[in-house]
Chain A
Amino acid sequence: MIGKVKIIEPGYFSTIQDRGRFGFAKHGVPFGGAMDQISYKWANVILNNNENDACIEWVFQPPVLRFSESTIISVTGAETTLFLNDKRVGMNQRIKISRNDVLTSKFCKNYKYGYVGIRNGFLSKEVLGSRSFFKGVTSSHMLKEGDQIQYRKVGKFTNQFSKVSSNSHFKNSNELLAYKGPEFDQLTDDKKHLLMNSSFTISGIANRMAIQLEELVPNDLPSMLTSPVLPGTVQLTPSGKLIVLMRDCQTTGGYPRVFQLSQEAINSIAQKRMKEICKFQLIAD
């Protein structure tokens, strides 16, 4: 039987996400997928879901949700205080949902992205092999008040294990492990030194496509042909801005690529807020 979750309040920028959309980058379609893949993964692991089941991703403020049928959910990622019909419930564990239950929560205390998982995943329409929202690909690119998303009703609540210890699953390290970008070796030694030894600040321009850093690094690299990029590619623009490409980034870009973040570092920078500091550390090959 199919239940529906109704979005009573959408939160700040809530979307449906799975691991991502693979196989269509050759058509210019971004990979997308959960910004913090580790927290996303835990939301499904707690529920014994398939690893690609779709979750609701929220930013700072989780959405207010009403469930039409019984099920089991989980909430992971950025730390928030959760209430089920005004009664406190915990993160990082199974939460039993009965018919017409309402989940509310506070603005998160730390980090940025969180996930609401549901037993067997949210069943929004799959487009090109993925449910991850993306403008121009899925019919909607953001959850709105009144939206209803289907899920499979679960009658029986089982609690095989109590809880995963909160936030042990993502290290909020300031050091971002990175590979040399393809254009790194064209930089002069003083620019390399600057990139390797300076602290950089997360700016206010940060979204699912990219995170801009505040400090400028003078760029004297020659212009280049448009080339492939991936989430985690760090570009240096002609004006000296560093742009860390994130999950919804384009598949190709024309700015020199000075670093490529490790998978762990992509998940870690996704959770950093404005004014937080980071440093790049090269991975020896």
Chain B
Amino acid sequence: MKYELTYKRYSENAILIEWPAKIDENILQDLIFYKEIIEKGSVKEIIEVIFSYNSLLIFYVSTIENVYDEFLLLKSLYSKNFVSKEREIRLWEIPVCYSPTLTPDLESFARAKSLTVDEVISLHTAPIYKVYFLGFLPGFCYLGGLDDKLCLPRKSTPSLDVKKGSVAIGENQTGIYPMDSPGGWHVIGCCPLNLFDPKKEIPCFVLPGDEIQFISITENEYNDIGSLVNSGNYLLNPTIS
């Protein structure tokens, strides 16, 4: 599928390409594919290509002398040889402990949504979430697919200290805090995994285009997995389809 894209100069050495403003898996696939072609086909040296739901920012090493020439080159890459083929998809089953004792907001969240805690858990663990991109914090994944029944506006006053591993909901989004941070989302679960490890060459194991499903675990399992993770003995493999 082809989209009407817009090309804008972002700075002396950056160009922004925009898709229609939608959260859409087909756009994500198109965007990731175009990004890879740009990384391979660019004549100018690139520092990095960053993207989000519907835009791609190309950050070049040096100043762009003639931005219109660069637009033409980029457009030719989009129209030529562009066959978005079926890619394999990695599904990660992420263990989450939904326990009122470990998660400060679970009960108040359920009350605010007129649901029982069990209903919150089953609504949160049912979907397969799509990873759109990483941002906000190192290793923080923007996920699509939260059930509308779980949407709740952010807290009016953000918490100053959301713990690493907190699984939280804000508006129509859900995600896992990869490190301690201030944050305005409602914490409903906690995940014992390391979503971001700066000691690794690739610091995040979950990447854009992947899928995530949350698996409810008990407090004992949470502690067991936590100690395996800390000793480096926990291995999580994705299901590939």
Q: Are A224 and B21 in contact (CB under 8 A)?
A: yes
Contact with B along A24-58 (1 / 0, CB 8 A): 11111110000000000000000000000000000
B contact residues, range: 35 or more
**Assembly CA distance A27 to B142 (angstroms):** 11
**Contact of A285 (CB < 8 Å), options: B9, B53, B55:** B9
Residue among B11, B49, B50, B179 making CB contact with A232, cutoff 8 Å: B11
Residues of chain B within 8 A (CB-CB) of A252 are 50, 52, 133, 135-136, 142
State whether A23 and B48 are in contact (beta carbons under 8 Å apart), knowing that A225-B53, A228-B16, A230-B14 are contacts in the complex: yes
B10 touches A136 (CB 8 A): no
Number of interface residues of A (CB under 8 A): 32
Contact with B along A225-261 (1 / 0, CB 8 A): 1111010100000000000000000111000000011
Q: Are B53 and A29 in contact (CB under 8 A)?
A: no
In the complex, A1→B208 CA distance in Å? 45
Would you call B18 an interface residue if the criterion is a C-beta within 8 Å of the partner chain's C-beta atoms? Answer: yes
Q: Tell me whether A98 is interfacial, beta carbon within 8 Å.
A: no
Q: B8 interface residue, CB < 8 Å from A?
A: yes
Asked whether B126 is an interface residue with its Cβ less than 8 Å from the other chain, the reply is: no
User: Is B152 interfacial (CB-CB < 8 Å)?
Assistant: no
Is B204 in contact with A225, judged by CB distance below 8 angstroms?
A: no
Q: Is A263 an interface residue (CB 8 A)?
A: yes
A30, A127, A182, A285: most-surrounded residue (chain B CB, <10 A)? A182
Decide yes or no whether A128 CB sits under 8 A from chain B: yes
- Distance in Å: Cβ of B180 to nearest Cβ of chain A: 8
Residue among A28, A127, A285 with most chain B CB within 10 A:
A28
Tell me, yes or no, whether A201 is within 8 Å of chain B by CB.
no
Q: Which residues on A sit within 8 Å (CB–CB) of B133?
A: 26, 252
A262 at the interface (CB under 8 A from B): yes
Which residue in chain A gives the minimum CB-CB distance to B173? A226
Which residues of A (154-174) have their CB < 8 Å from a CB of B? none
Contact of B12 (CB < 8 Å), options: A23, A27, A263: A263
The 0/1 profile, CB within 8 Å of A marked 1, for residues 45-66 of chain B is: 0011111111111010000000
Closest to B6 in A: A182
| Given A22-B48, A179-B10, A262-B12, A227:B139 Cβ within 8 A | no
Are A250 and B67 also in contact (CB < 8 A) when A22-B47, A24-B203 are? no
Cβ of B138 under 8 Å from chain A: yes
Q: Is A2 an interface residue (CB 8 A)?
A: no
Majority SS at the chain B contact face: loop
Contacts of B199 on A, CB cut-off 8 Å? Answer: 127
A-side contacts of B74, CB under 8 Å: none
A137 CB–B CB distance under 8 Å? yes
Is there contact, CB below 8 Å, between A27 and B203?
yes
User: Is B134 in contact with chain A by the CB < 8 A criterion?
Assistant: yes
Closest approach, in angstroms, between the C-beta of B25 and any C-beta of chain A? 14
Q: Does B232 belong to the interface (CB within 8 Å)?
A: no
Q: Given the complex, which residues of A lie within 8 Å of B18, measured CB to CB?
A: 182
With beta carbons under 8 angstroms apart, the residue of B53, B138, B179, B180 that contacts A27 is: B138
Complex interface: chain A residues within 8 A of B49 (CB):
26
Instruction: List residues of chain A with CB within 8 A of the CB of B204.
Output: 27-28
Q: Closest Cβ of chain B: how far from A96's Cβ, in Å? A: 35
**Docked-complex contact B203 and A225, CB < 8 angstroms:** no
Cα of A24 to Cα of B49 in the assembled complex, Å:
10
Give the CA-CA distance A262 to B138 in the complex, in Å: 26
Closest Cβ neighbor of B47 among chain A residues:
A22
**Using Cβ atoms and an 8 Å threshold, which residues of chain B touch A23?**
47-48
Check if B137 is an interface residue, CB within 8 A of chain A.
yes
Report how far A86 CA is from B140 CA in the complex, Å.
49
**Chain A hits for B16, CB < 8 A:** 182, 228
Write the chain A residue with the least CB distance to B136: A250
- The answer to whether B10 touches A251, judged by C-beta atoms less than 8 angstroms apart, is no
Question: Which B residues, 91 to 148, have Cβ-Cβ distances below 8 Å to chain A?
Answer: 133-140, 142
Say whether A128 contacts B196, CB under 8 Å.
no
**Whole-angstrom distance between the alpha carbons of A27 and B141 in the complex?**
9
The answer to whether A260 touches B142 (Cβ under 8 A) is no
Alpha-carbon gap, A30 to B48, bound state (A): 12
Residue among A30, A225, A261 with max Cβ neighbours from chain B (10 Å): A225
Taking Cβ atoms with an 8 Å cutoff, the residues of A that contact B are 22-30, 127-128, 135-138, 179, 182, 224-228, 230, 232, 250-252, 260-263, 285
17 contacts between A and B (CB under 8 A): A25-B50, A136-B138, A136-B179, A136-B198, A225-B23, A227-B54, A228-B16, A228-B52, A228-B57, A230-B57, A250-B135, A250-B137, A252-B52, A260-B11, A260-B14, A262-B11, A262-B12
The 5 closest A-B pairs by CB, nearest first: A252-B135, A228-B57, A28-B134, A136-B179, A228-B50
